[in-house]
Amino acid sequence: MVLLAAVVLLSGLYPVRYLAAPRWEVWVVNEAGVPLQDVSVRLSYKNYSAESDSHEITLTTDSTGHVLFSQQYGWACLIQEAFYIAAAASGGVHASFGRHAFVFVFGRGYDGTAVSGNYVTDWSGSPAEMVSKITARRTN
> What is the distance between the alpha carbons of residues 129 and 25, in angstroms, rounded to a whole number?
8
Q: Model confidence over 50-105: pLDDT tens digits?
A: 888 899 999 999 999 999 999 999 988 777 777 776 777 766 655 677 889 999 99
Choose the CATH number for 15-138 among 3.40.640.10, 2.10.109.10, 3.90.79.10, 2.60.40.1120: 2.60.40.1120
Q: State the number of CA atoms in the 13 A half-sphere of 47 facing the CB.
A: 22
pLDDT surpasses 60 at 6: yes
15-50 b/e (C-beta count within 10 Å ≥ 16 → b)? eeeebbbbebebbbbbeeeeebeebbbbbebbbbbb
Mean pLDDT of the chain: 88
Give CA angle at 70 (68, 74), nearest 5°. 150
Q: Where are the chain's structural domains?
A: 15-138
pLDDT value of residue 8 = 59
Alpha-carbon distance 128 to 96, whole Å? 21
Contact 43, 23 (CB under 8 A): no
Q: Give per-residue pLDDT as tens, 97-132.
A: 788 999 999 999 999 999 999 999 999 999 999 999
Bond preceding residue 127 cis, omega within 30 of 0 = yes
Q: What is the pTM of this model?
A: 0.85
Within 10 A of 65 (CB to CB), how many other CB atoms are there?
A: 23
